[in-house]
Structure 1
């Protein structure tokens, strides 16, 4: 790993930007219709519980990333196989988010620009950021954190003053019972975006004060979860359930409806600015974790040498991952959560924690037996 160090505030900012990332752009929780906000809050609760698994693993192995301590827990060869699997998983997630980013820009502003050109520009920017190091990415995050919140307050104020909010669209609460909400929670909101905190198992060793890790991460998750919930409430209240569930990008539809004093309108630029910033940080974190993990497992002293070939792989995957956007979304909602997110975010870390717990308990028992003998 590089010798980078970040402070607690920088980690907090990066977590908020990462978690909000593309979750605000898409209709998160739309399967629960007007109860999307309940599914998101349940996902936040589940995500916080899952993060405690990652944190406990971090407490056992504070100075090394996931790809290193998995070899200590599961053995060298099995551990390496699991580590390589996580690298592929992070690369795949980076490619999915890159496709989301490219599709939105291609379908709204750059309608005549090929998807590969848009994705190329983003991945080259991210590779440049990786070359500068994680500390630089964290510092850039501090700057854009303020920019995003300024845009959010302006956008929220304009939506309110435009009279777009109709709270009756949020009723009736739990019209179809708990089943749609629980189904959305288990197959969507617990994994995306909250379960994606698994990527920070590669980042936490950079924190300069390990004692603050737990509350910084939980705080970042809670703030981003509240922001995503508020966004879902605004989208449902402004658009209604029918449009909210059908729209690929509900927030864009909401912002497009802003009209104030026959002068302030067509504020899609706010959405696009957030899209570029959120997309950059989301893809960067996944991509950095994959590059750092590959360098760790395969013994590369200079991890930046891997950024170009792995960046090309992410770019190629983002284009070939699906033949069209509808197929891409369907795959992301029906296939990825069950076959990728649940195993890599919840099942494998849970097994690793159980093995680590028994191994560390055994070591403590052996130490306690040695001490009386020495005396």
Structure 2
């Protein structure tokens, strides 16, 4: 029950990120509720269609995102704005600060959020493939993050990258090729909308299926509308402004939610499952 609440909370946070990004850079006069509601309608429709539609959408949009990423990378190289000097000095204060940030921040967001996929594993036709797939996906995500940060720092420098709310958007916006190709913000916006859509869809589906199992609801799709409305209104009321929203996500949620739900409870559950399985095997042999 606690994890269901967390999945809904996390979905509302990501939905708020989407609305704030859209209002900041594209539609400043549009109410936040309208922007969030339009995306939520699409997500509710997708979740109602089931896990196969979600998975097929992910496959299709994954290819589209990588086409955008490769095209953007080529344009960034062509613009000649990359300055590798901005990356120096490398590890000025040693490995300790990097390890500290990795353990205290990067580990929780986004990698430990992959726990949501444990809600989907029972519905797979071939669960044995899940381990390899998740390891490959996690590794690929890490490589993508490293490349993105290297490009951001190379183009913007450390200070501007740290101050920017959306560093990749600032990087893409600065692309100019032959005084012809510029203002390519749409590349970033498309990639972010696709990523946010998929993330909220997976979180929302996990919350819907979990609620249906917990309360013995035969048709999980019936829950998509009421839970979708809850997530929509939660995304609006979660914080009074974007700064408060960021503070809550970076500082409050990490201590109150991420550490217990991602670091403490899963190993305990794994240990309990291990003991139960061991007793079952012993019982069979006897």
- Other-structure match for 1:187: 104
Aligned length: 286
Is 1:161 paired with 2:161? no
Note the residue ranges of structure 1 that are not aligned, 5 or more in a row: 1-83, 370-375
Counterpart among 17, 22, 40 of residue 100 in structure 1: 17
- Aligned counterparts of 1:160 and 1:205: Cα–Cα separation in 2: 44
- 1:187 offset after TM fit, Å? 2.1
Counterpart of 2:261 in structure 1 is: 344
> Match for residue 325 of structure 1?
242
- The SS at the match of 2:128 is helix
Partner of 1:70: none
Deviations 1:295-332 (A, max 9, x none): 00000001111111111111111111111111111111
- Listed one character per residue, the Cα deviations across residues 151-171 of structure 1 (whole Å, up to 9, x for unaligned) are 111100110110121111111
C-alpha contact (below 8 Å) 1:187/1:333 kept by paired residues:
no
Q: Which of 156, 159, 169 is the equivalent residue of 1:242?
A: 159
Q: Does the aligned pair in 2 maintain the 1:106–1:112 contact within 8 Å?
A: yes
Output aligned runs, 1:117-132, within 5 Å: 117-132=34-49
Deviations 1:2-21 (A, max 9, x none): xxxxxxxxxxxxxxxxxxxx
Task: Give the C-alpha shift of residue 176 in structure 1.
Answer: 2.8
Partner Cα distance (1:273, 1:219) in 2: 24
Aligned to 2:172: 255
Provide the C-alpha distance between the structure 2 equivalents of 1:296 and 1:346, rounded to a whole number of angstroms.
Answer: 25
CA separation in 1, counterparts of 2:92 and 2:230? 45
Alignment of structure 1 residues 61-210 onto 2, 5 Å: 84-210=1-127
Alpha-carbon offset, residue 203 of structure 1: 0.9
For 1:356 and 1:202, how far apart are their aligned partners in 2? 16
* 1:168-202 Cα shifts (integer Å, max 9, x gaps): 11111222333432332122111111101100001
Deviation, 1:268, is 0.5
- Aligned counterpart for 1:218 among listed residues 135, 141, 152: 135
Is structure 2 residue 282 aligned with structure 1 residue 362? no
**Residue 198 (structure 2) aligns with:** 281
CA deviations on 1:97-140 (whole Å, 9 max, x unpaired) are 00111100000001110111000001111000011111011111
1:284-323 → structure 2 map (5 Å cutoff): 284-323=201-240
TM-score (norm 1): 0.75
1:187–1:338 Cα contact (<8 Å) kept: no
